[in-house]
């Protein structure tokens, strides 16, 4: 039953992302390296073959690894994820691409009713090592259905890991870790960071970050911004700008919403006593609500002010001409920091 190598030609030396590299290149490199490392890895999705994906994340994979390893599927997301379930049942390690956040919804039943619980309902006999890559979030001028932040739907489903990189380096490392994971991972790619650059090359040996560890991107003594994915650069910018106000803000990048690294977050917030959670998706019932609740439960006696949230409004994602009003920006974050009851502290 172990999958033999497919009939595709053996890949030549895979192209290696050159410095500086974009997040898109790092993701492509991660897929390449995973395809080389494990013959069980198969990439499938809409337009992932000849075109290389609408964001070019799978650029050249079909050419270099063959159509059987990087497959253009019919246009049907439930079918993509449903067949990936069967492939995983047979021992393969599918990496599926959902073309856009809002196009992933037809696959929701497969995700909730099967992907998330197959390991559990078979008492561990059928783990499903599927990575579901979903470009998500706004800020790219997309028309409707192209800018959703859908993470809350996924993190509310037990059995899934929900991972989202915010840096070029993490894009590579977390994707490799997700593909290597024996659990299903919803891998949310912040599409407006696809073209962000870093002085990075996968040739330099780096530790692959374990899934479920937050990282302190900036330490600060006044208050802590807790964020992930597309909002990290905004928070770092806000922290820089806050220096003018006399605030020394720290920034925590969660990297993984499930598992949620409660220990790191609680330790940092205990140090500052003030926290703001920042994300693009709607605030009501969003990831920030859960994070704020857990901080309150764990750090109540250390808190100088209620944990605040800066999130997208509770509206359908707005049209591109208005999205700047919706997305959490530096000013809105600093306004929230200003409301952290400094006078009483």
* 131/154 Cα distance (integer angstroms): 13
Binding of other proteins at residue 68 (CB under 8 A)?
yes
Binding of other proteins at residue 113 (CB under 8 A)?
yes
Which member of 148, 183, 189, 323 binds other proteins (CB under 8 A)?
Answer: 183
Residue with tokens 């920042």: 278
Number of residues assigned to the chain: 345
Binding of other proteins at residue 268 (CB under 8 A)?
no
Which member of 9, 86, 316, 319 binds other proteins (CB under 8 A)?
Answer: 86
Binding of other proteins at residue 3 (CB under 8 A)?
yes
Binding of other proteins at residue 131 (CB under 8 A)?
no
Which member of 31, 33, 41, 42 binds other proteins (CB under 8 A)?
Answer: 42
Which member of 144, 240, 263, 331 binds other proteins (CB under 8 A)?
Answer: 263
Which member of 9, 19, 182, 331 binds other proteins (CB under 8 A)?
Answer: 182
* Positions marked active-site: 146
- Phi/psi for 44 (5° steps) reads -145, 150
Binding mask of the shown chain, residues 201 to 240, with x at each position contacting other proteins by CB under 8 A:
-----------x----------------------------
Binding of other proteins at residue 83 (CB under 8 A)?
yes
Q: Which residues bind other proteins (CB under 8 A)?
A: 1-4, 6, 42, 68, 73-74, 76, 78-79, 81-92, 94, 106, 109-110, 113-114, 118-127, 158-159, 161, 181-183, 212, 258-260, 262-263
């Amino acid at each position: 039953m172990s999958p033999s190598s497919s009939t595709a030609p053996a890949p030549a030396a895979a192209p290696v992302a050159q410095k500086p590299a974009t997040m898109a290149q790092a993701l492509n490199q991660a897929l390449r390296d995973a395809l080389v490392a494990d013959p069980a890895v198969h990439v499938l999705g809409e337009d992932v073959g000849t075109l290389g994906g609408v964001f070019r994340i799978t650029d050249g994979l079909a050419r270099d690894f063959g159509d059987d390893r990087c497959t253009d599927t019919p246009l049907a997301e439930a079918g993509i994820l449903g067949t990936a379930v069967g492939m995983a049942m047979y021992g393969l390690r599918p990496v599926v691409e959902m073309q856009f956040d809002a196009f992933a919804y037809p696959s929701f039943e497969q995700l909730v009713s099967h992907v998330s619980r197959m390991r559990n309902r078979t008492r561990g006999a059928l783990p499903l090592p599927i990575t579901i890559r979903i470009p998500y979030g706004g800020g790219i001028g997309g028309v409707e259905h192209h800018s959703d932040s859908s993470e809350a739907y996924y993190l509310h489903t037990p059995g899934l890991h929900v991972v989202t990189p915010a840096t070029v380096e993490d894009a590579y490392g977390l994707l490799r870790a997700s593909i290597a994971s024996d659990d299903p991972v919803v891998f949310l790619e912040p599409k407006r960071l696809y073209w962000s650059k870093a002085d990075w090359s996968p040739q330099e040996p780096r530790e692959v970050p374990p899934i479920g560890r937050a990282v302190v991107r900036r330490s600060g003594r006044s208050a802590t911004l807790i964020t992930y994915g597309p909002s990290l650069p905004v928070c770092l910018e806000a922290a820089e700008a806050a220096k003018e106000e006399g605030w020394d803000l720290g920034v925590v990048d969660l990297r993984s919403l499930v598992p949620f690294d409660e220990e790191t977050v609680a330790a940092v917030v205990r140090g500052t006593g003030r926290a703001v959670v920042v994300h693009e998706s709607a605030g009501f019932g969003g990831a920030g609500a859960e994070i704020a609740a857990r901080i309150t439960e764990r750090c109540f006696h250390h808190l100088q002010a209620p944990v605040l949230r800066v999130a997208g409004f509770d509206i359908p994602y707005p049209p591109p001409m208005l999205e700047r009003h919706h997305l959490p920006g530096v000013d809105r974050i600093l306004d929230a920091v200003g409301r952290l009851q400094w006078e009483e502290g």
